[in-house]
A and B are shown apart, each in its own frame.
Chain A
Amino acid sequence: MSHPNTSADPSDPHGIRASADGTGLLLTVFAAVVALSLANIGLSTSIGPGKFTLPMQLLIGTIQAGLVAYYFMHLRHGDKVVILTALSSLFWMGIMFVLFLGDYMTRQYVVTG
């Protein structure tokens, strides 16, 4: 649970107010995601298309999505079943990618007739 059902504060019996995010934290995460976006655009433009450009772009995108998921989507509150659900979506997508690419990326190795 992201907050306890009961709280020592009588004006906040469910601990809801106590679980509110700090504005400073949210603004810091926001600034980090914006900075990473600008870095991604700047680096991509200066480097140009190359072997390592796409992995770099996707790495930055993954860090950004991770920050959004952890802080803005409240995965940091540690609701275990929610974390499991979020990870399971990545797990299933991983299976899809492995099977999908395992077929398409190996077709040139098939020896025919």
Chain B
Amino acid sequence: MSASTHSPVLKHHFEDLGQQHACERLGIWMFLTTEILFFGGLFAAYTVYRMYYPAEFVFASSYLNRTFATVNTMLLITSSLTITLAIRSAKLGDRAAVIRNLLITAALASAFMVVKGFEYNNDFEERYVAGAPFRVEYDKAVTKLAPLSDADAAKFVKDNHANKHPEIQHWAAQLALHNREGVGHGALDPGKVQLFLCFYYIMTGIHGIHIIIGIGCILWVAWEAWRGTVPPENYSTVEVVSLYWHLVDAIWLFLMPLLYLAGAGAHH
């Protein structure tokens, strides 16, 4: 009989701890495979529409808040580090460090959601939401800019002086200006701009739901560690949750360029 069979952590249907840990790891990876394919479907749909309507996607992306997105990227990457440090602490049997690292991870994840909340609020205040709010704002801008002569409208666009003219900084005014006949820019279909916004809200929304579920799982493991049920032999409990968390982080590393960086550096 091997030494591992004496571990209280060993489940009766496994021969030893190595086999148990390998099975736990394989189980979560099988789940992650379905998650990768789930997000893969969204990425594939995004790819098709971005290739069909590149100008509208670049325009729409350029009005997203990259400062919030950058802060959130840093929060998620740091949380990936702290949860990996929690595994290390679990392996070394440092229970206080496990709990501390897991709570820091949960705090960083919560901060991500708070920033996301501010970002959504900002977007809603700007009426940058697909559907009726978008349409109303766009139509309002078209009416407001109607008295402007074509020559003045063309000058606004050509000189790229949006920052000097606060009245045309808003996305709706810029879109209306782009679509003025005689301005010289290719027209941008407001419907396709909203299509990008649909991808933005659906992809970040589903990602956000994954973050919330992750926070719950991380707090549960922290609770288990506090109860003393995560000795070094049971480090894989932390690892299983961390694998899920890293995937959520990795998906964000692709959402960031696809959604926020598509329009980075674009001039209006």
Question: A-side interface residues toward B, CB under 8 Å?
Answer: 1-6, 13-14, 16-17, 19-21, 23, 26-27, 30, 33-34, 37, 40-41, 44-49, 53-54, 57-58, 60-61, 64-65, 68-69, 71-74, 79, 81-82, 85-86, 88-90, 92-93, 96-97, 100-101, 104-105
Chain A nearest Cβ from B30, distance in angstroms: 6
A interface footprint on B241-268 (CB within 8 Å = 1, 0 otherwise): 0110011011001101110011111110
User: At the interface, yes or no: B204 with Cβ under 8 Å from chain A?
Assistant: no
With known contacts A14-B4, A17-B93, A89-B32, A23–B85 Cβ distance under 8 A: yes
Q: How far is the CA of A70 from the CA of B221 in the complex (A)?
A: 23
Nearest CB on B from A22, distance (A): 8
Contact of B18 among A3, A17, A30, A101 (CB under 8 A): A3
Q: Which chain B positions have C-beta within 8 A of A69?
A: 246, 250
A94 to chain B, nearest CB (A): 9
- B30 and A27 contacting across the interface, CB-CB below 8 Å: no
Task: Give the residue name and chain of the B residue nearest to A94 (CB).
Answer: B40
Considering the complex, give the chain B residue whose CB is closest to the CB of A33: B77
User: In whole angstroms, what is the CA distance A27 to B88 when docked?
Assistant: 13
How far, in Å, is A88 (CB) from chain B's closest CB?
7
Residues of A within 8 A of B73 (CB): 37, 41
1/0 per residue, CB under 8 A from A, across B9-30: the answer is: 0000000111101100110011
A96–B77 contact, CB under 8 A?
Answer: no
Closest Cβ of chain A to B259, distance in Å, is 11
Q: Does B96 contact A (CB under 8 A)?
A: no
Contact between chains at B264 and A20 (CB < 8 Å)? no
Q: How far is the CB of A104 from chain B (nearest CB, A)?
A: 5
3 residue pairs, one from A and one from B, having the closest CB atoms: A48-B265, A57-B257, A89-B33
Residue of A whose beta carbon sits closest to that of B17: A14
| Complex A-B: 25 CB contacts under 8 Å | A6-B2, A6-B4, A14-B7, A14-B232, A16-B233, A30-B81, A37-B74, A37-B77, A37-B253, A41-B70, A45-B66, A49-B264, A49-B265, A57-B261, A61-B257, A68-B249, A73-B242, A86-B29, A86-B32, A89-B32, A89-B33, A89-B36, A92-B37, A93-B40, A104-B52
For the complex, count residues of B whose C-beta is within 8 A of A: 65
Which residues of chain A are near B263, meaning CB under 8 Å? Answer: 49
Which B residues touch A45, using CB under 8 A?
Answer: 66, 264-265
Interface residues of B in 39-71 (CB under 8 A from A): 40-41, 44, 47-48, 50-52, 54, 58, 66, 70
User: Which chain B residues border A73 with CB–CB below 8 Å?
Assistant: 242-243, 246-247
Q: Which residues of chain A come closer than 8 Å to B250, judged between CB atoms?
A: 64-65, 68-69
B87 in the interface, Cβ–Cβ < 8 Å?
yes
Q: How far apart are A27's CB and chain B's nearest CB, in angstroms?
A: 7
B4/A5 in contact, CB under 8 A: yes
Interfacial chain B residues near A17, Cβ < 8 Å: 91-93, 232
Chain A residues near B174: list those with CB within 8 A: none
**Chain B residues positioned under 8 Å from A71 (CB to CB):** 84
**Is the Cβ of A40 less than 8 Å from the Cβ of B257?**
yes
Chain A residues positioned under 8 Å from B81 (CB to CB) = 26-27, 30, 72
Please pick, from A20, A49, A100, A105, the residue contacting B58 in the complex, using a CB distance under 8 A: A49
A88 touches B33 (CB 8 A): yes
Interchain CA distance A85-B25 in the complex, whole Å: 11
Interchain CB contact under 8 A, A97 and B44: yes
Q: CB distance B47 to A101 under 8 Å?
A: yes
Contacts of B262 in A (CB 8 A): 49, 54
Shortest C-beta distance, A39 to chain B (Å), equals 11
